Amino acid sequence: MKTTHLLLATSALAMSAGAASAVDLTFVSWGGAYQESQLKAYAEPYMAAHPDVNIIWDESSAEAVAKLRAMNEAGNLTWDLVDVTVSDSMRLCDEGLARPIDGATELAAAPDGTDADTDFGATRVNECFVPQIVYSTTWGYRTDLVGDTPPTSVCDVFDLAKYPGKRAMQKRPIDNVEWALYCDGVAKEDIYSVLSTDEGVARAFAKLDTIKDQVVWWTAGAETPQLLADGEVVMGSTFNGRLFSAIAEQNQPIGMLWDMQSYDIDGWIVPTGLSPEKEAIVMDFLMFATDTQRLADQAKYISYGPARASSAPLVGKHEALGIEMAPHMPTDPANATNVLHYDYTWWADHRDDIDAKFQAWLAQ
Amino acid sequence: MTIRTSIVPTPSLAGFTLPINAVAGALLGYLVGTAKGNPVLGAAAGAVFAALLALVILRFAPKRSLGRLAGAVITGVVGLALAGIAGLVFGALVGLVLSWLAYWLHTGDYRSNVPVYATSGDVLWSNTFRLICGLIFFFLIAPIAVVIPLSFNAENFFTFTPAMLALDPDGYSLKHYQDFMTNPDWLRPLKNSFIIAPFATIISVSLGTLAAIGLSQSHVPGRRAIMAILISPMIVPLIISATGMFFFYSGLGVFLEDTLHFSKDLSGYIKVILAHAVLGIPFVIITVTATLVGFDRSLTRAAANMGAGPVRTFFKVQMPLILPGVISGGLFAFITSFDEVVVVLFVGSAVQKTLPWQMFTGLREQISPTILAVATILVVISILLLTTLELLRRRSERLRGMSPS
């Protein structure tokens, strides 16, 4: 009986503590080192300046579209700010689940007075999406398993004679079919016109067929670093920040292959249907968290490039390791000599079709 | 036992004990050889070594304990020469196994668990059967046991590093436990789990026990149909229950917040607790119903005869007798809520994030050994909980003068 009383008392205390603080905001992100960088660069400074705001994190960005749809249908919105990829932001914006944001009045201008939309440039792909970082999907390899000649081209992935062993690839067609066509001799600028034909898709799968039985398919970004650390794969694709963390912070024998890295952008959307009081706080946070200095600050914690042009010169050193971060950015000129600009508008139109073909090909 | 072993003739050394020991040594040598890159050489060396070891200890150490010690020391020294400290530990273990096997065969102990008239085939089958049972236990326990050393990894990967395999202290650390104890990402879910699970358990135990008692009365119409509906949450795939609950409890949440003006956090906790209580009720009903089968109904009639009301009868007569069923049902309900990840992902919001939810996202987004540290702590808690329960049960049986079954 005594324990029951104790439990009742503690939980009542916990609940009233939750109710007493002025505003609880729920931010949705991807977890891991990326969310940690957002916490350090944006949320902690903001909470320090606004003690009445408490930010809680939900690592559900992977299901952002499905969950926001369900919440909307059930009339039970529990999220206040959501971190999504470009393609998800386009779906949410089209469906009216994300709120349009005016770059001139609701986002901070650059220090030299350039307005936010110009400063973000091409990264602000639609009116609902406030970009934060440019990241890339690229390749890492075990330095001790590739001999004296480490791979220098993405086509080395398809060369089983030169680099025998398993490869880790993301279980989705995006990037993989582009790399396959490129290594089958298609010029970079022709990739999407070739992919628009059935023969082109078949050609990409035929190229992937040459390594299919050596591929380990991954779905979560943490898998490739784990597989590389175990030595279960010789090379694997993943997000460049994960590889940086495995190499620089965990001292694993892994090398970076930047050739044909595939750029993508991550950013915030504000869900529609927030109460006016909450929306005011969220918009205030958003203006603070996406200004020039804050985006540059995030690069102290993770090797992703800030989405604003004006932030790039402000990128400094890694907070804990003290190494210069600029050379580890996917946008650094030395790393960006040969980049795959993945075409999200093309994929928005063809995704369902190619996904179905990819799944059928996987099952063969 | 002594009589039986004495009538078993000592088996032939060269024709029986040494060959079998050599086979066991070849198997172990094959494993070591595979790790070192030459399985054939490993198997051959293992066979020769095991046969020689058996010959030496059986010849020179008639006393078992001494012989086993010698076997462990000899093999340990060989391991030390081959692979350092880790080799010493592994070698000593191998030596213990091989010397145990040598005495077990040589003294005829391998026949001690079968009748004297058993044929060689019977003896072989009996021991193979025991080996199979041992392997089944191994396959059940190994996946859980392997997590425990990995949780002391000094690196942030699920990998046995070379330093760990060499038993180098630098390869081990408590940093993942420290992370669990200090990181708010883990402390908040821990607190939530300890708020949600006890309340869900209290509700499921109260409602489940009442339902079980009601349903065990013969005069209740449609007993089987009601029972089937009540235990359906256990049978319906969880993802389907969870989807339904999401929409149902969203409506409840809107009512709690808008009409009763509960705070969003409080209504969130209420929703998750109720959802988990629903999942726990079937376990309570099933265990309590099973206990009620052995309950003598004439006791309640006797109590009524002596003037006790139904409530008094329940608490003074029936409850103490069915308590073991209630407690184990409650334990199942607690574990159901404590382990549950699907429903809470649907019904809860980030404020109600529980430990399994955090482990799930941790596994998906960041493969961090902190998850293994948490898993190890949970395994230890489960063992303690079950041990306590078993001790309590034995105590109550002793107090009531029943012999433990």
Predicted pLDDT of residue A13: 45
Are A32 and B253 within 8 A, CB to CB? no
| Pick from B355, B284, B367, B364: nearest CA to B322 | B284
Q: What is the domain partition of chain A in residue ranges?
A: 22-134+265-328, 137-263+340-363
Are B367 and A225 within 8 A, CB to CB? yes
**The tokens 């620089």 sit on which residue?**
A248
Predicted pLDDT of residue B76: 87
Are B366 and A222 within 8 A, CB to CB? yes
Predicted pLDDT of residue B212: 93
The reply to whether A57 touches chain B by the CB within 8 Å rule is yes
**Burial (CB count <10 Å: 0-12, 13-18, 19+), residue A115:** middle
Confidence check: pLDDT of B225 > 50:
yes
**The tokens 């929703």 sit on which residue?**
B271
Predicted pLDDT of residue A80: 94
- CA–CA–CA angle A83, A88, A89 (5° rounding): 70
> What value does the CA radius of gyration of chain B take, rounded to a whole number of Å?
29
Classify B119 in phi/psi space as left (phi over 0), alpha (psi -120 to 50) or beta: beta
Confidence check: pLDDT of A162 > 70:
yes
Are B366 and A31 within 8 A, CB to CB? yes
The reply to whether A17 touches chain B by the CB within 8 Å rule is no
Express each pLDDT in B93-110 by its tens digit: 888 888 888 888 888 788
Q: Measured in whole angstroms, how far is the alpha carbon of residue B386 from the centre of its chain?
A: 10
Predicted pLDDT of residue B401: 64
Q: Pick the residue from chain B with its C-alpha nearest to A222.
A: B366
Express each pLDDT in B117-163 by its tens digit: 888 888 888 889 999 999 999 999 988 888 888 889 888 888 887 77
Q: What DSSP designation does B220 have?
A: -
The reply to whether A9 touches chain B by the CB within 8 Å rule is no
Q: Tell the CATH topology of A22-134+265-328.
A: D-Maltodextrin-Binding Protein; domain 2 (3.40.190)
| Pick from A193, A198, A137: nearest CA to A353 | A198
Q: Pick the residue from chain B with its C-alpha nearest to A57.
A: B350
B1 band by pLDDT with thresholds 50, 70 and 90: very low
Confidence check: pLDDT of A21 > 60:
no
Q: Which CATH class is domain A137-263+340-363?
A: alpha beta
B400 band by pLDDT with thresholds 50, 70 and 90: low
Q: Hey, of B367, B368, B388, which one would you mutate to test binding to chain A, going by the most A CBs within 10 A of its CB?
A: B367
The sign of the dihedral angle between the CA atoms of A170, A172, A173, A178 is: negative
Predicted pLDDT of residue B55: 86
Alpha-carbon dihedral B187, B192, B194, B196, rounded to 10 degrees: -170
Express each pLDDT in A228-274 by its tens digit: 988 899 999 999 988 998 898 888 899 999 999 999 999 999 999 99
| Pick from A339, A112, A226, A344: nearest CA to B366 | A226
- Determine the 3-state secondary structure of A56 from DSSP: strand
Express each pLDDT in A312-350 by its tens digit: 888 888 888 888 888 888 988 888 889 898 888 888 888
Predicted pLDDT of residue B5: 46
How far is B362 from chain A, CA to nearest CA, in Å?
8
Q: What DSSP designation does A78 have?
A: -
- Distant-in-sequence, close-in-space partners of A102: CB < 8 Å, separation ≥ 6: A127
Q: What DSSP designation does A109 have?
A: P
Express each pLDDT in B326-337 by its tens digit: 988 998 899 889
**The tokens 């149909």 sit on which residue?**
B225
Express each pLDDT in A119-134 by its tens digit: 988 888 889 999 999 9
Confidence check: pLDDT of B73 > 70:
yes
Mean pLDDT (whole number) for B236-263: 89
How far is CA B300 from each of CA A48, A115, A279, B291, rounded to the nearest angstrom? 65, 82, 62, 15
Q: How many CB pairs under 8 A join A and B?
A: 93
CA-to-CA distance for B235 and B83, rounded, in angstroms? 52
Q: Pick the residue from chain A with its C-alpha nearest to B158.
A: A226
Confidence check: pLDDT of A1 > 50:
no
Q: What DSSP designation does A222 have?
A: T
Alpha-helical (H) ranges within chain A are 2-20, 32-38, 44-49, 64-74, 86-94, 103-106, 116-120, 176-183, 191-195, 198-209, 223-230, 240-244, 276-289, 292-298, 344-363
**Burial (CB count <10 Å: 0-12, 13-18, 19+), residue A213:** exposed
| Residue B263: both structure tokens together | 């705070």
Q: What DSSP designation does A54 have?
A: E
Are B157 and A229 within 8 A, CB to CB? yes
Q: Measured in whole angstroms, how far is the alpha carbon of residue B85 from the centre of its chain?
A: 31
Mean pLDDT (whole number) for A46-69: 90
CA-to-CA distance for A335 and A241, rounded, in angstroms? 14
| Residue B338: both structure tokens together | 């404590």
Q: Hey, of A7, A21, A59, which one would you mutate to test binding to chain B, going by the most B CBs within 10 A of its CB?
A: A59
Query: Pairing between strand A167-170 and A130-142?
Result: unpaired
CA-to-CA distance for A232 and A229, rounded, in angstroms? 8
| Residue B116: both structure tokens together | 């004297």
Of A15, A59, A226, nearest to B367 by CB-CB distance is: A226
CA-to-CA distance for A77 and A279, rounded, in angstroms? 13
Q: Pick the residue with more confidence: B206 or A6?
A: B206
Cβ neighbours around A148 below 10 Å, total? 4
How far is CA A81 from each of CA A59, A107, A282, B257, rounded to the nearest angstrom? 12, 15, 7, 21
Predicted pLDDT of residue B3: 45
A19 band by pLDDT with thresholds 50, 70 and 90: very low
A11 contact residues in B (CB cutoff 8 A):
195, 199, 269
Q: Pick the residue with more confidence: B398 or A305?
A: A305
B83 band by pLDDT with thresholds 50, 70 and 90: confident
CA-to-CA distance for B206 and B164, rounded, in angstroms? 49
Query: Pairing between strand A53-58 and A23-28?
Result: parallel
- CA–CA–CA angle A63, B335, B339 (5° rounding): 20
Express each pLDDT in B32-49 by its tens digit: 888 777 888 888 888 888
Provide the mean pLDDT of chain B. 86
Measured between its terminal Cα atoms, the distance across chain B in Å is: 26
Express each pLDDT in A273-293 by its tens digit: 998 989 999 999 999 999 999
Confidence check: pLDDT of A4 > 60:
no
Confidence check: pLDDT of B12 > 90:
no
Measured between its terminal Cα atoms, the distance across chain A in Å is: 61
Asked if residue A220 lies in contact with residue A152, where contact means CB atoms within 8 angstroms, the answer is: no
Of A4-8, B164-168, B254-258, B398-402, least confident by mean pLDDT is: A4-8
Cβ neighbours around B235 below 10 Å, total? 9
Are B199 and A4 within 8 A, CB to CB? no
Express each pLDDT in B368-389 by its tens digit: 888 999 999 988 888 888 888 7
Whether ipTM > 0.90 holds is: no
Asked if residue A28 lies in contact with residue A65, where contact means CB atoms within 8 angstroms, the answer is: no
Which CATH number, 3.30.460.10, 3.30.110.30, 1.10.3720.10, 3.40.50.1100, labels domain B183-368? 1.10.3720.10
CA-to-CA distance for B201 and B329, rounded, in angstroms? 9
Mean pLDDT (whole number) for B302-327: 89
Q: Measured in whole angstroms, how far is the alpha carbon of residue A185 from the centre of its chain?
A: 29
Q: What is the domain partition of chain B in residue ranges?
A: 2-112, 183-368
Predicted pLDDT of residue A323: 86
B190 contact residues in A (CB cutoff 8 A):
none
Provide the mean pLDDT of chain A. 88
